[in-house]
A and B are shown apart, each in its own frame.
Chain A
Amino acid sequence: MHEIIDKLVLYFQFPFVRYAMITGTLIALCSSLLGVTLVLKRFSFIGDGLSHVAFGAIAIATAMNLTNNLFLVLPVTIICAIILLCSGQNSKIKGDAALAMLSVGTLAIGYLILNVFSSSSNLAGDVCTTLFGSTSILTLSMTDVWLSGILSALVVVVFLVFYHKIFAITFDEDFMTATGVKSKAYNLILATTIAIVIVVAMNLVGALLISALVIFPALSAMRVFKSFRAVTICSVFVSVICAALGILISILAGTPVGSTIVAVDIAGFLLFSLVGKIISRG
């Protein structure tokens, strides 16, 4: 145990490790907040779908040689989020089919574009990094940390201010519209927030693993707690602790950061399921 503490002290001398911990926990916090709503609205796979859209946008941005791809990726992802979340029951193509089409289509086209247009020397590596987020969280600059910090603060504020509305449109959107509440506007705010969180979270775990970051903490919390408020708070705690643990374990053991965080999330979920079973029987 002593050796681990020593090693961690050594590692924390490096600024990029500190940045990774700060950003990682902030991203975990935001995605877990929104994860509760998404899971309950049966949109668990939206993290996947939107991150693939973001991947496609990154591919196009790379092909167009844009210096900062965020200017293309963020608007495109937000628009897709709005289309997916706000179509409701009126769409001809039901929610999950639309999501699947978008998810697979953008991934394929993105990879195609990168292959045809990119001048990168290590294409497979670039794609791998974007999809799995190997060490991107450990190669952040101070600017990245500030950006993540500001976005996270924004997400938390939005969530706190609109907490009751978010609960209401998750539980019963029809009721809200029928009783005169502007649920379409709140849906829009929710969709935009989710898109922003996913684009930022891609840096942490990569596009393929984002769904895990969004859904596992929420599902874990729901195994044990019974009120929406308790589930939300527990989900945040679980997500932050699992992300921090995941980052620490991956830098100690030399494992990929994204997969390690997800593995810790899974372990957390199993633990909570066990506790939930014990409590319900007791």
Chain B
Amino acid sequence: MKKTILKFLILCLVIIPFAVQPITGCGNDNHNENRNEEAKEVFDSTTGNNSKSAREVDIDLSIMSRTMIFAEVNNITSNPESYLGKSIRLKGSYFAAYYDVTDDYYHFVLIEDADSCCQQGLEFILGDDYIFPGDFPPDMTEIEITGIYSSYLESGQTYYYIAADVMQYTEE
């Protein structure tokens, strides 16, 4: 019995320093990433300023890890009604899709999960000042969208989208 307790104590002493190390390591990496991004030139399409929008949003996915983003977007697309009216900030790849029935382009933010084997997309719509294709970046550019989660009716179907007022991306 005594030997068992002794073994257990030794284990704890050995494990705890190891366990703390990787977590602190990961945290530092994320922090450095954020600083690097802020240093890049940010093209703000509405004001032309080099400033990042610092508004508070209900759900800020731009500061989360890929695993979290994918899971939360999955929740949004599974239960869209519960997210209506919430403000969302999201970072992902831009993608424009043409639908010939309505002869219109639809804009999406795509995100991948951690295995890169699954993709999800949220549609977004910017204000009428934005003309496609001039005001939009090329496909698969990394963009950041901030807006309110809303819905619209088209051809009898309800579609959900982010009513975005800001789209930010880095000029190549």
Contacts and interface: CB of A to CB of B under 8 A. Distances in A.
Asked if A and B touch directly (CB within 8 angstroms), the answer is yes
B23 A4 contact: yes
Tell me whether chain B's interface is mostly helix, strand or loop, or mixed: helix
A278 B4 CA distance: 14
A255 B24 contact: no
Given A7-B27, A125-B119, A139 B74 contact: yes
A2 to B, nearest CB: 9
Given A135-B114, A275-B11, A252 B24 contact: no
A271 B74 contact: no
Contacts of B31: 3
Interface in B75-125: 75, 78, 113-115, 117-119
Interface in B1-28: 4, 7, 10-11, 14-15, 18-19, 22-24, 26-27
A125 B111 CA distance: 13
A124 B15 contact: no
B120 to A, nearest CB: 10
A275 B10 contact: yes
Interface in A182-219: none
* Interface size range on B against A: 20 to 34
A125 B118 contact: yes
Most chain A beta-carbon contacts within 10 A, residue among B30, B70, B113? B113
The DSSP consensus for interface residues of chain A is: helix
Contact of A252 (B19, B23, B113, B115): B23
A214 B66 CA distance: 27
B4 to A, nearest CB: 6
A182 B22 CA distance: 49
Contacts of A254: 65-68, 114
B165 interface: no
A20 to B, nearest CB: 8
B113 A275 contact: no
Contacts of A224: 7, 11
Contacts of A3: 27, 30-31
25 contacts: A4-B27, A14-B72, A16-B71, A16-B72, A122-B118, A134-B115, A135-B67, A138-B67, A138-B71, A139-B71, A225-B7, A249-B22, A249-B23, A250-B67, A250-B114, A252-B26, A252-B27, A253-B65, A255-B114, A256-B115, A257-B67, A267-B18, A271-B18, A272-B11, A279-B7
Interface of B: 4, 7, 10-11, 14-15, 18-19, 22-24, 26-27, 29-31, 64-68, 70-72, 74-75, 78, 113-115, 117-119
Given A134-B115, A249-B22, A253-B30, 14 more contacts: A14-B68, A129-B117, A134-B70, A134-B117, A135-B67, A135-B74, A138-B67, A225-B7, A250-B67, A252-B27, A256-B114, A257-B114, A275-B7, A275-B10
